[in-house]
Amino acid sequence: MVTSESASNSYNSSIAARAFPLVAIAGHNSLKLALLLAAVDPGIGGVVIAGGRGTGKSVLARGLHALLPSIETLQNSLNSDPRHPDEWDRVTRARIRQSAKYVNTDEKPTSLIPTKIIPTPFVQIPLGVTEDRLVGSVDVTSSLNTGMTIFQPGLLAEVHRGVLYIDELNLMDNNIINLLLAAVGSGENRIEREGLSLTHPCRCLLIATYNPEEGTVRDHLLDRFAIVLSANQLLSIAERVEITNSVLDFNDHSNNFRQKCSEETDAIATQLLLARQWLPNVRISRQQIRYLVTEAIRGGVEGHRPELYAVRVARAHAALNSRDQVNAGDLEVAVRLVIAPRALQIPPQESNSNMESSSPPQGKENSTDNEQDNNDQDETKDSDIDQTENNEKENDSEEDQISPQIPEEFLLNPESIAVDPDLLLFSSNKAKSGSSGSRAVVMSNSRGRYVKPMLPRGPIRRIAVDATLRAAAPYQKIRKLKEPHRNIIVKEGDLRVKQLQRKAGALVIFLVDASGSMAFNRMESAKGAVIKLLTEAYKNRDEVALIPFRGERAEVLLPPTRSITAAKRRLEQMPCGGGSPLAHGLTQAARVGVNSLATGNLAQIVVVAITDGRGNVSLSRSLGQLPLEGEESIDLKEEIKIVASRYRSLGIKLLVIDTERNFIGAGMGKDLAEAAGGRYIQLPKASDQKIAAIALEALNET
């Protein structure tokens, strides 16, 4: 009988045996270095590899795993390290404490503890993995036999001290990704479900890949990884021929191929092993950290994570090169791999005075040297000051002998080192799509994919049999004492229902001002944008509607639809000119949006208002309500703001696109967007392509 643990070990061994040698992979120098640095310090924050089809993303990940050394673990544990009792999980600690061979777990383990050597775990997260398989759940069989709640480890337990590989990161369920990153980021997996309340360590090397052509990844998700690089590279014909020959040779004669690369592979594996031992002794100075922070600021990098990641990358690079002190080369690698891909801007050329004041110290010069030079000019003023300055000189000379190395120039500087365009992944994603968000999903009790069990609320429709059995398993022994004739006894408190999840589209409502001299241009652009969005509507489950407002009222010219034929037929003829009943237009758009949300088929509503925000027809007039005698007239601007402010409570997004070229009383469109908590974009030349792109950007925002 093969146990799951032995099967996992054999699986890891087979992965290493089939892996293409990392040293034999053509190109990808930056990616290879990034993976090696992550292997030196698995807590570095993970590596994401983005690239098109067939660019070697998974080959790189598996090739790195083949280089990792085997690990020593405690027998019958979650890959616990015998040398670090403080990291053991509670069950392992209790079991060792009860063992006669080992009494005090606070002391260092001895050779009496049963241990074993296993290959470094390699766990790939399946695309459709469930929450209980990921984090762990109740072991039904063991719980039935013992009458106690027994924990069945999940994938996060199996990958401790190993490699966690996520393929198709952009297609993974958001809840699964959040659970995974929370566990890996904190170094432990916390389970609070189905009567379980426990934690176990989860320290692993995280590698993820995705194809941008199949969908982008949210920016805040990419920011949780230390290094995000592209696998796309330009290769010559000769290089591609060499790659093809290497793959064919590997497939036909894998053993001989590995033997050719064995010497270089063993050298890198040894280097990794030594670098891990060297890493705790690597030091980085305060001035070097200041340099990394300054680079992050110059690149417009958001948050503090990048500079923290950069520090760890610099230390890992120093350890990989057998140094105990970070130098200028290590800092440049950290900037190139961590900060440059996140740079939202390349700093403009600054004046000489600014550069002199902001540039880091070069060589052995530092801030104390400048202070000393200023003091040297005043040596003749006072003998006491002379003595103080002499002491400072002696101290400075001692500090100069051990001053840390810092690059002479900033990397993110137009006149300095050229940045590889392939590394600018964050900024390129934003430039293409405006955001890296993902479409929303909705929870349902009737249809969709089963994502997790939950306690029932109201009538029970779909019972989660697996979760129900897990909840009832620990109590079977006690219940059978009262009802021995029944095999399994399930009570009402054990019932769990299925939480279903399905993708939901969005509704884009184009609210177009059809009044005034610019009405024709606005309508033509809006029509083109509607047709362009409809071409993408089917796969995203999106719908489009068009509401023009003119004269005294707004009418729903195109109800929510995904039909291009119906849209073209409705958009052929549309009158323009007259007044601007903006308040009624906003009201009509909100009504259409609320009714669409009530169907449960849509997750979000975006109203794209193509207007300058200057309405001149009141809402009461549009509704045919005559003002009462003596009633004061309502300020039209305030009325529009009041109507727009209700969008917040309705959960409707408002995007105002101002197409006016000559602004008279400009700013009303911006005030309208602010009242609704939306966005305002000034776009005098609003083509259908631009309007469609901006609408998609609003949809993708989280």
Residue 485: both structure tokens together: 């004739």
Q: State mean pLDDT over 215-220.
A: 76
- Residue in the structure block whose two tokens are 């052509």: 213
Considering only residues 392 and 243, tell me which one the structure prediction assigns the higher pLDDT.
Answer: 243
- Domain regions of the chain by residue span: 4-69+120-239, 71-118, 243-342, 441-502, 507-625+635-700
- pLDDT interval class at 518 (50, 70, 90): low
- Residue in the structure block whose two tokens are 């010497």: 263
d(CA 513, CA 528): 15
362-371, 587-596, 602-611, 693-702: range with lowest mean pLDDT:
362-371
- pLDDT interval class at 441 (50, 70, 90): low
Question: Residue 251 above 60 pLDDT?
Answer: yes
Question: Residue 59 above 70 pLDDT?
Answer: yes
Most confident of the ranges 91-95, 339-343, 492-496, 591-595: 591-595
What number of other Cβ atoms are within 10 A of residue 472's Cβ? 22
pLDDT digits (tens, 9 = 90+) for 14-43: 555 567 777 677 778 888 899 999 999 988
d(CA 603, CA 503): 8
The distance from CA 675 to its chain's CA centroid, rounded to whole angstroms, is 30
- Residue in the structure block whose two tokens are 């270089």: 264
Question: Residue 313 above 90 pLDDT?
Answer: yes
Query: Which residues lie below 8 Å from residue 674, measured CB to CB, with a gap of 6+?
Result: 680
Question: Residue 238 above 70 pLDDT?
Answer: yes
- Check residue 300 and give its pLDDT: 81
d(CA 596, CA 589): 11
pLDDT digits (tens, 9 = 90+) for 346-363: 544 443 333 333 333 333
- Check residue 317 and give its pLDDT: 93
What number of other Cβ atoms are within 10 A of residue 110's Cβ? 9
In sequence order, the β-bridge partners of residue 152 are 137
d(CA 112, CA 521): 84
Considering only residues 625 and 409, tell me which one the structure prediction assigns the higher pLDDT.
Answer: 625
Residue 236: both structure tokens together: 């010559």
Amino acid making up residue 184: V
3-state secondary structure 357-390: HHCCCCCCCCHHHHHHHHHHCCCCCCHHHHHHHH
- Check residue 539 and give its pLDDT: 57
DSSP-assigned letter for residue 283: B
67-76, 344-353, 522-531, 611-620: range with lowest mean pLDDT:
344-353
- Check residue 429 and give its pLDDT: 45
d(CA 269, CA 63): 11
Q: State mean pLDDT over 592-615.
A: 80
For the chain, the C-alpha Rg in angstroms (whole number) is: 32
Average pLDDT, the chain: 75
- Check residue 228 and give its pLDDT: 87
CATH class entry, domain 243-342: mainly alpha
| Residue 62, phi then psi, degrees to nearest 5 | -75, -30
112-121, 276-285, 523-532, 618-627: range with lowest mean pLDDT:
523-532
- Residue in the structure block whose two tokens are 């037929």: 569
pLDDT digits (tens, 9 = 90+) for 75-104: 888 888 888 888 888 878 777 777 644 444
Longest pairwise C-alpha distance within the chain: 106
Cβ–Cβ < 8 Å for 415, 346: no
- CA separation, residue 127 to residues 135, 177, 210, 332 (Å): 15, 11, 12, 36
Cβ–Cβ < 8 Å for 164, 123: yes
Query: Which residues lie below 8 Å from residue 440, measured CB to CB, with a gap of 6+?
Result: 504, 506, 603, 604
- Check residue 45 and give its pLDDT: 84
d(CA 468, CA 474): 11
Choice among 133, 193, 305, 679 that is catalytic: 305
Quote the percentage of the chain above a pLDDT of 70.
72
Quote the percentage of the chain above a pLDDT of 90.
9
- Check residue 311 and give its pLDDT: 93
Considering only residues 383 and 60, tell me which one the structure prediction assigns the higher pLDDT.
Answer: 60
d(CA 553, CA 579): 9
- pLDDT interval class at 385 (50, 70, 90): very low
DSSP per residue, 524-536: HHHHHHHHHHHHT
d(CA 34, CA 41): 11
Considering only residues 3 and 678, tell me which one the structure prediction assigns the higher pLDDT.
Answer: 678
Angle value at C-alpha 228, between 222 and 233, nearest 5 degrees: 135
Most confident of the ranges 49-63, 607-621, 639-653, 678-692: 639-653
Q: State mean pLDDT over 95-124.
A: 68
Considering only residues 684 and 517, tell me which one the structure prediction assigns the higher pLDDT.
Answer: 684
CATH, domain 4-69+120-239, list 1.10.3720.10, 3.10.20.30, 1.10.10.10, 3.40.50.300: 3.40.50.300
259-263, 425-429, 624-628: range with lowest mean pLDDT:
425-429
Cβ–Cβ < 8 Å for 600, 442: yes
- Check residue 12 and give its pLDDT: 58
Burial class of 687 by CB neighbour count within 10 A (0 to 12, 13 to 18, 19+): middle
| Residue 137, phi then psi, degrees to nearest 5 | -155, -165
Considering only residues 364 and 59, tell me which one the structure prediction assigns the higher pLDDT.
Answer: 59
Question: Residue 316 above 90 pLDDT?
Answer: yes
> Which has the closest alpha carbon to 206: 49, 415, 392?
49
- pLDDT interval class at 326 (50, 70, 90): very high
Q: State mean pLDDT over 315-330.
A: 91
Q: State mean pLDDT over 216-239.
A: 80
d(CA 609, CA 510): 6
Burial class of 80 by CB neighbour count within 10 A (0 to 12, 13 to 18, 19+): buried
Considering only residues 599 and 354, tell me which one the structure prediction assigns the higher pLDDT.
Answer: 599
- pLDDT interval class at 193 (50, 70, 90): confident
Cβ–Cβ < 8 Å for 35, 59: no
Considering only residues 519 and 60, tell me which one the structure prediction assigns the higher pLDDT.
Answer: 60
pLDDT digits (tens, 9 = 90+) for 491-513: 888 888 887 776 677 888 888 88
Cβ–Cβ < 8 Å for 548, 510: no
Cβ–Cβ < 8 Å for 584, 617: yes
CATH topology of domain 507-625+635-700: Rossmann fold (3.40.50)
Question: Residue 195 above 90 pLDDT?
Answer: no
Determine whether 305 is an active site residue: yes
Domains 4-69+120-239 and 243-342 share a fold: no
